[in-house]
A and B are shown apart, each in its own frame.
Chain A
Amino acid sequence: MTDATQSPRSVKTLLGARRGRGKMHWTDVFTYCYLGFGLFLMFAPVVWLVLSSFKTPAGLQEFPPTFLPLGQISVEVDGYDEPLLLFDVTMEDGSVQQLAQVRRIGIMAQMVDPADPGERLQIPIASREPVREMRMAWENYRDPLERFNFMRYLWNSVIVTFAATMVTLLINSMAAYGLSIYEFRGRNAIMLFVIGTLMIPITVILVPVYLVVTNLGMINSLWAVILPGAATPTGVFLLRQYMLTIPRDLIEAARMDKASEWQIYWRVVMPLAMPAVAVLAIFSIMWRWNEFLWPLIVLNRSEVYTLQVGLNAFQGELDVQWHYILAMTVVTLIPVVIVFAFLQRFITTGIASSGMK
């Protein structure tokens, strides 16, 4: 559906685009500053999150915070069983020497020169500086995925997101088809009613829906998360408005072509509504993937936890395991980013009337 006649501009020309010929016009400067600011606003937290997710708990507590995940270098020294931490020490004569710390007593540290382990030095802790290197704390990722059954949560989230999105797309598009293709008395009233439900906050219906779900025996099953939110007024509205733009002639042509209602829906209207369906799919995936409150309420056993509920488990009353939370947050981000990257091209492409004059 993409327009093949217009060759896409390369990234280089796009980045170098400017209004002035050859030199920078003041609007170019302004535009780039503005865009840079926007980029910073949106991406800095993400970059910060990703970098922080590789920090050790100690690295996260550090003040002032470091930008990159750093770890102190430790060295093997003869005569000591454990590796010793390495420091840059400013000696009394002003020279800087690398020493390993044996132990720390109050404001003094006992240190040895790794090259000459026999001699112990007493150094005030103010005059030493840890020697650090970039170090990725992969265990932030490994531990939750292995020890805390995070793969299970991930899998649950995938199931919920996929199934719920499929159900949402199917029933919302069917409702939208009915409300856009058929003409009947009260059509607009029904649409208004559907949109009106947007005004009811989820907290109001939380208890009634919980009761329904409980009575249906769906508590602690993934269906309890998949089904209640499947019909979304936003989705119906979005698809219906798009389907209204599909030329009526096409529907009538299909009728003349002996297509059944299902065939008209499935083979004519749905392919033409693809851009809107893709948008709804992206929305639905993001909603379901990030959904927290409802799964928290209906999923009480850890084997049915979704990612977001699982993440919550790292947040105890007294102790928050930030390193795990950050790492798993990155994990939860990845699928949404991938989905968006794949589906976003549908958003802008395809006008239903391209086959029409």
Chain B
Amino acid sequence: MTEIHLKNVRKSYGDVEVIHGIDLQVHSGEFCVFVGPSGCGKSTLLRIIAGLEDITSGDIEIDGTVVNHTGAADRGLAMVFQSYALYPHMTVYKNMAFGLENSKMPKAEIDDRVRKAAELLQITDYLNRRPKALSGGQRQRVAIGRAIVRDPKAFLFDEPLSNLDAELRVTMRKELSALHANIGGTMIYVTHDQVEAMTLADKIVVLQKGVVEQVGPPLDLYNKPCNAFVAGFIGSPRMNMFQGVAVRDENGLALNVGGALLAIPDVPALADGDKVTLGVRPEHISVHADHSGELSASVSVTEQLGGETYLYCDAPGLPQITVHQGGQLPFQRGQALSLSFDRTRMHVFDADGKAVANGLST
């Protein structure tokens, strides 16, 4: 069981700083997911923890020991690479045994560990094959197996599923989840796919441009994003964001978005004339075929998936609005409708994108 603690970690390449002071605690046995768009520094951060990149300043502690100057080999961590990085000239067995041979383990124990891991991952039949003769999913398992046999202090995964096709990705995602439940080690997992992050994580770390935007359990991030970036990044399809202005008069508080006035419960932090961003998730918008809603719109595209329906609606002065409803909705393209927004699930961000309110109580 391993705690990993980052203290004000910075990393520069020459004059360019890519990691701007990250503080993070990964608890023992936790499944921690780093998520963020391309180039946000999540892979760099993982490689820093692994010991493959040096840090410019700050401290990395593993189980209370500062490991800034400890090489990758001696940190006792195992990493699964995006490309799997299986040694092409070795059999699956050799691939898995390589790390153990390097630590001078007796042959019998190596054999025992490799076979146990192979059994766990159901790759016993392929032990004598070369990686070339394996499918993507099998290679993925071998890469994970190579990490498991070492019985590492923590597992590091660098976008391990991104080379798999959609169906296999879902399967492997479940298996990874089961694996974590089974062996229970500390795991750090990097992905750009927020669905993977939501489904796997005990704790999500949202990164952008080398800065931690928010840390928390998946549903916390979904329900209470601390800023507009996290709100937009977590959740699929994206949250609808409308630029607007707060209007405070004798009737109370309202938001003027694209000319439409939406009355909202009072938020003390908002003054008259404040620029705000209103965020509503697609599933928190209800649809009315008549004009009983708050905002008139017309259907631009409908996606009927049978069990659920996505509507993409145009409203004057607003970006396209995505609506997600369960079941099958009988709307045609071009049809006029009106939308209303669930106040209790509405997010308001200030001009800097910081959350002012997550869910407005009526």
A residues at B contact (CB < 8 Å): 1, 247, 249-250, 252-260, 263, 267-268, 271-272, 274, 352-357
Contact = CB atoms under 8 A, between A and B. Distances in A.
A24 to B, nearest CB: 40
| Pairs A-B, 4 closest by C-beta atoms | A355-B88, A257-B99, A355-B131, A249-B85
Contacts of A254: 87, 98
A355 B81 contact: no
Contacts of B130: 355
Contact of A354 (B77, B88, B98, B146): B88
Interface string B138-175: 01000000100010000000000001000000000000
Interface string B59-85: 000000000000111100111011111
A268 B87 contact: yes
Nearest to B77: A256
A223 to B, nearest CB: 34
**Number of chain B interface residues as a range:** 20 to 34
B179 to A, nearest CB: 18
B103 A258 contact: yes
A356 B71 CA distance: 25
A247 B81 CA distance: 11
B132 A253 contact: no
Contacts of B131: 354-355
B133 to A, nearest CB: 9
Nearest to A252: B52
Nearest to B71: A255
Given A249-B85, A250-B87, 11 more contacts: A253-B86, A253-B146, A258-B103, A263-B102, A271-B89, A274-B89, A353-B88, A355-B87, A355-B88, A355-B130, A357-B139
Given A259-B98, A260-B102, A354 B83 contact: no
Given A249-B83, A356-B84, A357-B83, A256 B50 contact: yes
Contacts of A257: 73, 98-99, 102, 146, 150
A234 to B, nearest CB: 25
Nearest to A263: B102
Contacts of B29: none
Contacts, number: 84
Contact of A355 (B51, B79, B132): B132
15 contacts: A249-B83, A252-B52, A252-B72, A253-B86, A254-B87, A255-B73, A257-B73, A258-B74, A354-B88, A355-B86, A355-B132, A356-B83, A356-B84, A357-B83, A357-B163
Contacts of A271: 89
Nearest to A246: B88
A247 B85 CA distance: 8
Looking at chain A's contact residues, the main secondary structure is helix
B102 A250 contact: no
B136 interface: yes
Contacts of A357: 83-84, 136, 139, 163
Contact of B72 (A247, A249, A256, A263): A256
Contacts of B89: 1, 271-272, 274, 355
Contacts of B50: 252, 256
Contact of B85 (A1, A253, A267): A253
A161 B315 CA distance: 82
A357 B85 CA distance: 9
A252 B84 CA distance: 11
A256 B136 contact: no
B72 A255 contact: yes
Given A263-B102, A271-B89, A247 B83 contact: yes
A252 B88 contact: no
Contacts of B51: 255
Could you say which of A254, A267, A355, A357 has the most chain B C-beta atoms within 10 Å of its C-beta? A355
Contact of B88 (A256, A260, A272): A272
A4 to B, nearest CB: 9
A274 B88 CA distance: 12
